Structure 1
Amino acid sequence: MESRESVRAWAPLDEGRLQRELVGSGVCSRVVRVDSTGSTTADLVEAARREDFAQQWPHASVLTSEEQTAGTGRTGRAWASPRGSSLSTSVVLRPSLPASQRHWLSLVSGLALVQTLEEDYGLDASLKWPNDVLIGAARDEPGRKIAGSAAVAPRCAGRCHRRLRHQRPAGRGGPAHRDRRIPAARESGSSVRRREDRPPHCVA
């Protein structure tokens, strides 16, 4: 485990290299690095409420922070990422997917990371349902979590609010979520009509 002193000594992300290798190569449309924030996802969800969100944050835009102080996990538990200890990153996606398939986005991103770790770095990686990436897992060892992913469809200007949730099918190792309504509707007791012809912004 790295000491606190060595974590502090880590150099910040090279913004020039990020632009060259991610934006210049066409992998990302925009990359923004900040020193510290409460939550990169919360920042983009808030930005999505503005009318110019699509112009300012096009598909495949990335927000990354050296430090995250008020992150939340899939079940709402709070966690923080001290400076230099990890990559706290959110990506804006606009998938052309029907509503019935959007909940797969977070799981697919986890599988993609597992594949990258195995094929490009030779690590023994695995996915713990639904979105935790582990390395070094064995029959008697749970492995070490090195990443997690979550997808959120925020309330955007002129669009309805949807949050992408994972659901483990009943009878396949765990119970299904009982209340599958989106959070805004569940809290208000109302229903929100899903518009298949207007795919939402998605922050992953």
Structure 2
Amino acid sequence: MASCGTCDITGLFSIEYTGIISVNMSTSTEITLTATNVILTGPTTGTISMSAYPYTPGQDRLLGVSCPSSARAELKWIQKYDCFNNKMHFFPAWGGAASVSGDPISGVRLEREVVTYQSMNADASSGPASPYFYSNQTDGFNLIYTGRPIAINSGRPQSYNILSNVLPANTKLYLSSFDISIEPPLRSVVNYNFVFSFDLT
């Protein structure tokens, strides 16, 4: 029987934040075999995706909206590898796009609005009598989210020191995308995607 390493129930998984639904990590190391049979190793890089509830028990789980609403942002990072010190550097590339759609979401603000237009949402998976919605979508830059579990400002890219009990010491995570979606009467969900690199030598 194959070993799965450390195995436990997710309810006992230790993390710095509450309301976490799921955390998934994917990593790989750059490895090259030369013509003379020499193995060269580069950086170990990875991604972490995290989903969570953006509210605490007793709070408005729809964050003030009555129609399907969402917000999202992308943050771009230039990755440069220092082969002498075996270290990957992340530099923010300004201009990551952001958008908001539907009703105003509590704790969400698009700082720089560029264009607004009509969008729509239709889903017949629950039957032909399911409602469909028209809403306004605004595209721009610099999405600010002040809610839980992690506040973000896409106009000011930064590193995050989370999952310190899982990742090697001093590993920093860089937010690459963020989105929050609300489908009344269901709960709202917020998603984060991070990129990172660590040294295993």
TM class by shorter chain equals: under 0.3
Q: Would you tell me which structure has more strand in proportion to its own residues?
A: 2
Structure 1 or 2: more helix by fraction: 1
Larger Rg: 2
Relative contact order, higher structure (CA 8 A, sep 6+): 2
Q: TM-score, normalised by structure 1?
A: 0.27
